[in-house]
Amino acid sequence: MKPVVLDASALLAMFYGEPGVDEMRALFHRATTADQPLLMTAVNWAEILYRIERRQGTAGLSAARRLAASGPLSVVPADKDLAELAAGYKAAGLLALADGFAAALAKLRKAELVTADYDFKAVEKEIEITWLKNK
């Protein structure tokens, strides 16, 4: 299984049962079976946590943390290389900063990026992207 990076939209689809949830469940199953982590930057993880806490409060936050602790999700620290590449995407007007971190991790790890966010079309020529169904 090729390395996989998750954008916040992908994991939020799973948390909220939004379109793409079945694809995400299957991806989590494959990653668990293959004993291969699904990668996400700490910046994108922060984005998920604040959205969940705003929408579901501390109960939702606890559920998100349990999922991260028990599943194949691996949160990758935002280091200098990630920050510089993410900043480049933002400076070029291609992506929002948090999205830039997800794209940067996918590019640096030569990984597939899984997302439901069509803003990533701006970088699909340099990063392999799997689009979740959004309807």
For 54-79, write each residue's pLDDT tens digit: 999 999 899 889 988 888 999 999 99
Residues in the chain: 135
Q: Tell me the C-alpha distance between 58 and 134, whole Å.
A: 27
Domains and CATH numbers, the chain: 4-131 (3.40.50.1010)
Q: Tell me the C-alpha distance between 135 and 105, whole Å.
A: 27
For 21-67, write each residue's pLDDT tens digit: 999 999 999 999 999 999 999 999 999 999 999 999 999 899 889 98
Beta bridge pairs of residue 115: 131
For 1-10, write each residue's pLDDT tens digit: 799 999 999 9
CA-angle at 70, arms to 66 and 72, nearest 5°: 125
For 95-125, write each residue's pLDDT tens digit: 999 999 999 999 999 999 999 999 999 999 9
